[in-house]
Each structure stands twice: as C-alpha cells, then as structure tokens.
Structure 1
Amino acid sequence: MSWSLAMSKNIETTGAVIHVLDDGQGDTALVFLHYWGGSARTWRHVVAQLKDRARCVSLDLRGWGRSVALDGRYDLDAMAGDVSEVIAKMGLTRCILVGHSMGGKAAQIVAAKGASALVGLVLIAPSPPTGMPVPAGMREAMLASYQNAEGVNEALKILCHRQLPEEDRRQVVEDTLRGAAGAKREWTTAGMLARLDGVAGIGIPTLIAVGDCDHVERADSLREIYGEILPAAEFHILPGVGHLSPLEAPADIAEACSNLLSAVAAG
C-alpha cells in the first residue's frame, strides 16, 4: 500500500472530527502526532519506512489538515483527549505514541494518564513539560509568520537545518496556511507556555530524539529537563538535523521508532 493509498478516516471525538491516515499492519501501532503547522502527511517519509513492520496511524490534530474542532477548542487537553478517543475508537490495543514538537507535548499528556494501550513513547524534539518561556514579542512574530507563504518560508530558515526538497517545502507551506486561526493562536498564547503535571510518572519505555542543529528545542536544554523528569528515557542526538526532523531526516526518525518497537517486543 503506497502512502497515496493509505486509508483515510474521519473519527468523531468529543467536540471534533479527527482525520486519520491508516497504513501498514502489525500487532503494535505507531500513532503519529505532528508539530504546530503540520498534518498527518508530515510523517509520510517516516511511515514509508515503517509500514511493512507496523501499523502506522497518523492524525491531523484538531484545527490542522482535515480535522475540525466543532467546539472551537484547540487547547492541549482537548488535543490529547482526541488522541485517546481515536485510539479507543480504532480498537488499538498496543500503541507507541510518536509526537513531534507540539505533538510531543500532547503525547506526554496522553502518556501521563497511563492508558493501558500505550506500550511506548517516542518524543521528537518535544515541547517540554516545563513550558517554553518565549517572550510575548517573539510569540507574536511566530504567529504572524504563519499567515502567508512568505512568512512560512522565512520560518523554515529557522525550523530547518537541511534544505527540504521542493515538494516537502510546498507541503509545509500548504499545511501551515491551512491551519485554523484558533489553532495557530492557541499554541502561541497558551500551549507552548503550559506546564504539564504527571510527566515524571510516565512508566512506559521512552525514547527522546532531537537534532543538534535544532534552534527551537535545543538538545542541551532537553537533555537537562528530561534527565530530571524522565531519567530512564533514552536520549538520542541527530547530527546535522534541525527542528523538522520528520522531513529533514526521516530515516533517523524511522530508526528510532523501529528501535523502540524492538524494545517493547522483547518485553
């Protein structure tokens, strides 16, 4: 099954309709949650390398891609609730959550609740549970950059270390501009600042990966934060990679996911 033939589904959750791409097969499902500005297709290169080994379920988080927040909520708790409901409604009984940046923060909320279906957690350049103390002016500039193609292309100069192929660059622009105004605003005004409770209690195998050229979530800072909060987590540095690692270095991300798949299979 090619990516273009992945099964497209719309799943009703509390207050939203969540669009999902379902590909591959296997006893354990990898559930992918994208960054602020992305969509389910952010993961397409990663899924292409994993779908022969595992079921790959990629979500458009509420307000992004084809997903709609019927109740107008775009906060992290609503987002995490959608993820839990999608897992339950799809009948997934063994899952590894794979969250990137904003999606990583949502993944930490889901994992902290201790759902029985979760057997592993992969955090890719995650927004940390301590919150990001970004000055208001910088957050306003971030939001402004997501309003037009020129702004998104400028943002890519910060988000990426490696130059993206033209097709991927166009995809990033399209996905970003397609995002709901409320979803864009919520992250910069509240989501990225939010502190999370319970993350230290996550007891499933966890792998954290971040590029050494990431200017959004810096490797040294994340190593220090998670070294205290999740000391048992594996921490991987991706050489020469910026913040958009699922697009910049999909083979590295697929390898990280594959390694955790092997670890949870071994028990």
Structure 2
Amino acid sequence: MPYFEGPDGTSLFYTDWGQGKPVVFVAGAWLSSSSWEFQMLPLTDKGLRCVAFDRRGHGRSDWVGHGYDYDTLADDLAALLTRLDLRDVTLVAHSMGGGEAIRYLTRHGYDRVSRLVLIGATAPLMLRTPDNPEGVGQEILDLMAADRAKDRPRWMAQNAQAFFATHLGNSISAELMEWTVRQCLDCSAKAAHEVVRTGLCTDLREEAAAIRVPTLILHGDADASAPVALCGQRMAELVPDNSYKEYPLAGHGIFITHADAVNRNLFDFIDMT
C-alpha cells in the first residue's frame, strides 16, 4: 500500500486514482480517505486525478501521540504534495480539514495549489471569545468532550443521524450510517480528542481573509457540527474570491447525502477555473 512520511517521520497512508488535473481531498475529523469514495470515483471517471490520505492518528496512518495542531497537519499535507510533485491542485476539505487546507496555504504558499473547496468547514472560529460572542462556549465544548470520552462508540452512534440531518428527510441507509460510524472509530482516542480541539478552537479569521485562490464554499443550512451562520456564511464574508452555495436542509455530511450535487459543483468549479 502507498505511504509517505510526514516531516517527523510519521507514516501516512494515501490513495491516488486517475490522471489529469489533481484534486486532493482532506477528510474531516475522525474520518479517513475512504470517506471520499463518493467524490473520487465520479471525478476520476471525468478525467481528474484524485488523491486522498489518512490524517495521522486516523485509518491506516500511524497512530502517533503528537502532531494534531494545524501547523503539523498542514506540514503533513505539504509532504504529500511534495512527494507526488502535484501542481495546479484543487484542495477539497471537509469540516476541520478546512483548517488544515487554510493553514497549508498560510505556511506553504500557492505554488502547488490553484483552487480551494471548503465543505462544511468548521472555520473560521467556533469558540466563543470576546470578539466572537456568537461562538460556542468552552464549557460546552468541555462537556461534549467528556461525554464523548466516556463511551466513544455510543456517542458516535447517537450523533450519526444529526451528522446527516436525517430528521429533515435526508435519506441514508442504515448500512451507510454504520460504515461512517466505523470510520469515525478507526482513529486513536488521542487523535479523536486533539483534532476536535484544534478544529473548534483555532482562530483562522485573518488567514481566511488572506486566501489568494478562487474558493468554493459548500455548506448545509442544517449543519449541527459547523453551524452555517457561524461557519459557512462567515467564510463567505471573509474569503476574497469565493463562490458560496448553501444547501437547504443539509447537514454536516453533505458530501454523502448530497453527493451528486456536490460532485457537480466540484467539477464545474474545477472546469471553470
């Protein structure tokens, strides 16, 4: 199986399908490269090269006990793009993976990346602060983390329907929901805890406002994990050159429940830019 090394020697698994313009997928917290199968198959059929990887602590990558800050995660992403010598890349990132993509651009520049897609990103800042009063309080985040740590399998299963917003009519099979939960459990407890803290508490507002590539922002208006008013709409206000699409009644897992529409948006965006 294909692996590359992060700057600190961490072994990281990746998948590389197809030929053509490269599209690199960055998964959300707890999910692995497998989560992108509903994008990678259709886009490779359309003549694109699709690459995805398992973040450290996730899936088939090393379950190390360190490196879950955005700087290290962005450096891992940079190591992948360098290893494969990818250029004219479209970065597609979900949830806290959006922060990895943004921090990559901040730390490593734009020589290799020409487009950015943010799907249900937790950016620019979820945490409540004096200048972000609508954010989520630290005490609430701490309670959620403690509840999750007591019984992670049960917590994941109980929150799966909210992830897909099934209460609003989004159709998903029990088997696909279980498959997603299994992916979320296929990461270390350390990684599961640390990446959420990174994704929810890192302030990316200045970095988002400095993005210099065309950006497509896709967000569900019923996203319980990254509330649209706090995340998607604010990113649309901050990023200079962006196209914003809000999906009615869609949750955090729009790349699965709304895969056909997401894939059309992705392909059209890549084809136009």
| TM-score, normalised relative to structure 2 | 0.86
Paired position in structure 1 for 2:14 = 20
> Which of 160, 164, 167 is the aligned partner of 1:160?
164
Percent of aligned pairs sharing the same letter: 25
Q: Distance in 2 between matches of 1:137 and 1:222?
A: 20
Say if 2:71 is the partner of 1:63.
no
- The answer (yes or no) to whether the contact 2:27–2:35 under 8 Å persists in 1 is yes
RMSD: 2.0
Q: Distance in 2 between matches of 1:229 and 1:138?
A: 26
Q: Distance in 1 between matches of 2:231 and 2:101?
A: 16
Question: Number of paired residues?
Answer: 256
The CA deviation at 1:115 is 2.7
Q: Distance in 2 between matches of 1:20 and 1:224?
A: 32
Deviates more, 1:163-172 or 1:102-111: 163-172
Deviates more, 1:99-108 or 1:228-237: 228-237
The CA deviation at 1:141 is 4.5
Paired position in structure 1 for 2:267 = 258
Flag as ranges the 4+ runs of structure 1 deviating above 6 A.
none
> Which of 138, 141, 148 is the aligned partner of 1:139?
141
- The residue type paired with residue 179 of structure 1 is C
Matches for 1:1-267 after TM superposition, within 5 Å: 8-15=1-8, 16-26=10-20, 28-52=21-45, 53-68=47-62, 70=64, 72-113=66-107, 114-133=109-128, 134-143=136-145, 144-145=147-148, 147-161=151-165, 162-196=170-204, 197-264=206-273
Q: Distance in 1 between matches of 2:142 and 2:180?
A: 20
Q: Which runs of 5+ in 1 are unaligned?
A: 1-7
Cα 1:81–1:235 change in 2 (3 A) is same
- The answer (yes or no) to whether the contact 1:74–1:182 under 8 Å persists in 2 is no
| TM-score, normalised relative to structure 1 | 0.88
Q: Distance in 1 between matches of 2:267 and 2:97?
A: 19
Q: Which runs of 5+ in 2 are unaligned?
A: 129-135
- The residue type paired with residue 22 of structure 2 is A
- The residue type paired with residue 229 of structure 1 is L
Q: Distance in 1 between matches of 2:260 and 2:233?
A: 26
